Amino acid sequence: MIIARFDNVQFQQDMDNIVKYSLGFLEGARAGKTAFLAPLGAATIEMMKDFIDANARLSPEALHHIYEWNQTGSPDARLYDINYTVSNLGLSFKSTFSQSTSIKSGSNVPFYDKARIMEQGIEVTIKPVASKVLAFEENGETVFTRGPVTIENPGGTGVQGSFESVFDNFLRSYFSQAFLNSSGILDKIQNPVAFKRNMAKGKRGGRSAGYQTGYRWIANAGALR
């Protein structure tokens, strides 16, 4: 005769702890979101800047305005910066432009607000200041005029909106299709192996074990290979 004894009390306690462990895991993952997104944001910015510089070297006619004169694509000559913020909505990026300090050949002063003006396609009006005559070069010839000169497209053809375009292209395409995969981050997020690996601890520790596991899992997911 075979007699099987089943400890219903222990079984119920184990099941309760596993449920609490699962809930704690989700709570920990939510709490660890900032720790996950901060290194991801910093790494993304560096990758984005390299991406923009590479595109600028390939298409200098479109992106020359976001660098100092004659230094298109150089990291040391950038007139743009990118910052990230972490909020309840997730990770967001914002770009800003800085003032140019270099002087274009034929000019006496830097082009004020060069990057922003050319990116937005803002027309520029030039007036004589120190003298009654304005002198400038056009098509290789020196032109003299007493009146103001308006330049409708100071950046040239194809410049307006080009920085915004490459910025958006990185986030829409390169970031989601290449960076997340190559860095290993996407694989870590899609495969929360830590949850299964710590199930035995969860059966004993319940919610607190789940919280610690979830927090460490999502926080470590931001660490790059």
- pLDDT (tens, 9 = 90+) of the chain, 225 residues, equals 555 555 566 767 877 778 887 888 788 888 888 878 888 888 889 989 999 999 999 999 999 999 999 999 999 999 999 999 988 778 899 999 999 999 887 777 898 899 999 999 988 766 666 666 666 666 666 666 666 666 777 778 889 999 999 999 998 887 766 666 666 666 667 677 777 788 888 778 888 888 888 888 777 775 554
CA separation for the pair 142, 182 (Å, rounded): 53
Specify the DSSP element, H or E, that contains 122.
Answer: none
CA separation for the pair 175, 82 (Å, rounded): 15
Cα–Cα separations (whole angstroms), residue 109 to 38, 188, 203: 40, 52, 71
128: which 2 tokens?
């004589």
User: Can you list the alpha helix ranges (DSSP code H) found in 98-192?
Assistant: 114-120, 162-169, 180-183, 185-190
Could you give the count of Cα atoms lying within 13 Å of 132 in the half-sphere of its Cβ?
0
Q: Is the model's pTM score more than 0.75?
A: no
pLDDT in the model for residue 76: 97
CA separation for the pair 105, 168 (Å, rounded): 32
Question: Counting Cβ atoms within 10 Å, is residue 186 exposed (0-12), middle (13-18) or buried (19+)?
Answer: middle
